Amino acid sequence: MTKYGSFPGTRPRRLRTTPVMRRMVAETRLHPADLILPAFVREGIAEPVPIGAMPGVVQHTRDSLKKAAAEAVEAGISGIMLFGVPEESKKDALGTVGTDPDGILQVALRDVRAEVGDDLLVMSDLCLDEFTDHGHCGVLDAEGRVDNDATLERYAEMAQVQADAGAHVVGPSGMMDGQIGVIRDALDQIGREDVAILAYTVKYASAFFGPFREAVGSSLKGDRKTYQQDPANLRDALRELALDLEEGADMVMVKPAGPYLDILARVADSVDVPVAAYQISGEYSMIEAAAEKGWIDRDQAILESLTGIKRAGARNILTYWATEVARKLR
């Protein structure tokens, strides 16, 4: 007992008593505009193809992709990030279909822009891995190593082709040294100063990418540890951040999101540009698999995971649940 009444005198639980009270004092809020939908479009299919490792996610046809984009607009999300899946026979060592104006990704960009105009930010993954027969994010040298500077030349061409096809934003994800500066110069050279760069600044060599390999029909041999970042390192991420900002990144991203919330928080505290985080395929698949087993509440787990990412400092979140969650938030 105290002279002021019963112990304890301070009771934080008073602010948790009802749903309305909890909503009023919530420090972090999700909004549809926070969300970006990653989407896969596959060449040569007549119907959407379910991705076995990602229940509820498909490889789209051109028509179903346009429908998904229209639904994203209706739900109020901010963007759609497109990944192209070419026919296997079109892959080669240089990923030339990735810079072909009639390649699947460029065709899809034109389709989606025609469908949604400026009502949705049309974003494009800028990387070679979907288009190479070896599955790496760049050009290989004579010894089978990824040649950083030769790859930059390919990225410059990709940036220009994607901009011409209608991308509002390009997302360089290959983790090549100097990629942001080269891409910015390439875009400016063709008068596309208006196209923004969302830099995959912090991209770790993560086991959680596994289901994505199926989603893009990856031909990867080996791993990407010589160019993606070591999960053990923080200072390396901050160094990459400084370089990307110096080279002209308009926005920066941390990928994966959930296992690297500490990195996300450090990045968000360090910059004055928008920070995105990508809740990747493995994060998605774990929740879906556990929910299918009845081990967790699916809807609550989805919202909790996204709230954690937002609380850690993400302005925007790429998530395969973007449209579904946005509808519920509205």
Using H for helix, E for strand and C for coil, what is the string for 70-133?
HHHHHHCCCEEEEEEECCHHHCECCCHHHCCCCCHHHHHHHHHHHHHCCCCEEEEEECCCCCEC
Q: Where does the pLDDT of residue 3 fall: very low under 50, low under 70, confident under 90, or very high at 90 and above?
A: low
Note the pLDDT of residue 7.
83
In the set 203, 221, 225, 293, the catalytic residue is 203
Note the pLDDT of residue 224.
78
Determine if residue 239 is labeled as part of a ligand binding site.
no
Mean pLDDT of 220-243: 88
DSSP-based helix, strand, coil % in the chain, nearest 5? 45, 20, 40
60: helix, coil or strand? strand
Answering whether pTM is above 0.85, one says yes
In the set 66, 91, 255, 310, the catalytic residue is 255
Domain ranges of the chain: 28-329
List b or e across 11-43, with b for residues whose CB sees 16 or more CB atoms inside 10 angstroms: eeeeeeeeeeeeeeeeeeebebebbbbbbbbbb
CATH topology classification for 28-329: TIM Barrel (3.20.20)
Residue 285: CB atoms within 10 Å? 21
How far, in Å, CA of 94 to CA of 153, rounded?
11
Note the pLDDT of residue 217.
65
Residue 263: is its pLDDT beyond 80?
Answer: yes
- DSSP calls for 183-237: HHHHHHHTT-TTSEEEEEEEEB--GGGHHHHHHTT----S--TTTSBPTT-SHHH
Residue 247: is its pLDDT beyond 90?
Answer: yes
Q: Could you confirm whether 203 is annotated as catalytic? A: yes
Determine if residue 246 is labeled as part of a ligand binding site.
no
Determine if residue 320 is labeled as part of a ligand binding site.
yes
Mean pLDDT of 53-64: 95
Amino acid type, 150 = A
How far, in Å, CA of 164 to CA of 130, rounded?
20
Q: What percent of the chain has pLDDT over 70?
A: 96
Query: Which helix (DSSP H) or strand (DSSP E) does residue 66 occupy?
Result: helix 62-75
Residue 284: is its pLDDT beyond 60?
Answer: yes
Residue 84: is its pLDDT beyond 90?
Answer: yes
Q: Where does the pLDDT of residue 222 fall: very low under 50, low under 70, confident under 90, or very high at 90 and above?
A: low
Q: Could you confirm whether 225 is annotated as catalytic? A: no
Mean pLDDT of 105-117: 98
